[in-house]
Amino acid sequence: AQRSRPRGPASTSAEPLYSVCCSDDGRTVVTGGHSGTITAWDARSGEVVKTFEKVHKAEVTGLTFQSGTQQLFSCSRDRTVKIWSLDDMAYVDTLFGHVQGCTQIDCLRKERVISVGEDRTCRLWKVQDETQLLFKGMPCSGNVDACCFVNGTTFVTGSQDSSVSLWSMFKKRPVYTVRGAHGSHGDGDGSACSTWVHSLAACANTDLVASGGGDGRVTLYRVDPEDQTASERMRAVREVE
């Protein structure tokens, strides 16, 4: 039997890509670009499967699949969240709510999506019910750039003021906030973004969360929103440089 040969990197136009995600089955990679274009790729062949040309009015800042499905969610600095079916390769719906640019998005198995934005809010969208929960008690002084589900009811957000907050969908304010997670003003190389929290990730349905910042470090946390000791609800356990 012939072995498949590795292919070179897939390429589109020269436009910058702002977001990428993979389907759970490993067959589809989706990218979001500066022009508002979303492109679906066959991960095995490297070929373009479908291009949704300039479907957002600004850059596509976030992409996420609903776990175990081919339902895709996108967000953009045009303030919208859009829903796509990659089974049908078709647009489904647009969700409105953010009053400034939407910066990141995440989804797990249920049709519940969280998004954050430059309006310093987090929104939890109950897609099937066509409702949203607004979390605007952000303990931060900068834009919210990152978000991530920990499990079906718990999530984290990260901000430009270097704070990382742990939330429960049942409470309007965070259960705990780590301040100065990636340094404080004046630390780092002196650039404005050297202490920003740019990215968050979690091992879904565990107690492990990671944050990435402008200081070049990754910080790992143990989270337990039910812990009676507030400082133990989100505790840094390791830093990687």
The confidence score (pLDDT) of residue 59 equals: 98
SS3 145: strand
**What domains sit in the chain, N to C, each tagged with a CATH number?**
60-240 (2.130.10.10)
For residues 204 and 154, the answer to whether their CB atoms sit within 8 Å is no
Q: How many helices (H) and strands (E) does the chain have?
A: 0, 20
Q: Which residues of 173-201 are buried (b: 16+ CB within 10 A; e: fewer)?
A: ebbbbbeebbbeeeebeeeeebbbbbbbb
The confidence score (pLDDT) of residue 6 equals: 44
The band of 106, judged by pLDDT with boundaries at 50, 70 and 90, is: very high
How many other C-beta atoms lie within 10 A of the C-beta of residue 216?
12
Distance, in Å, from the CA atom of 216 to the CA atom of 118, rounded to the nearest integer, reads: 22
The band of 240, judged by pLDDT with boundaries at 50, 70 and 90, is: confident
Q: What is the pTM of this model?
A: 0.89
Sign of CA dihedral 209, 216, 173, 80: negative
The band of 1, judged by pLDDT with boundaries at 50, 70 and 90, is: very low
Q: Which residues contact 73 (CB under 8 A, 6 or more apart)?
A: 63, 64, 65, 66, 81, 82, 83, 84, 105, 107, 113
Distance, in Å, from the CA atom of 96 to the CA atom of 57, rounded to the nearest integer, reads: 14
How many other C-beta atoms lie within 10 A of the C-beta of residue 153?
14
When computed from its CA atoms, the radius of gyration of the chain, rounded to whole angstroms, is 18
How many other C-beta atoms lie within 10 A of the C-beta of residue 159?
24
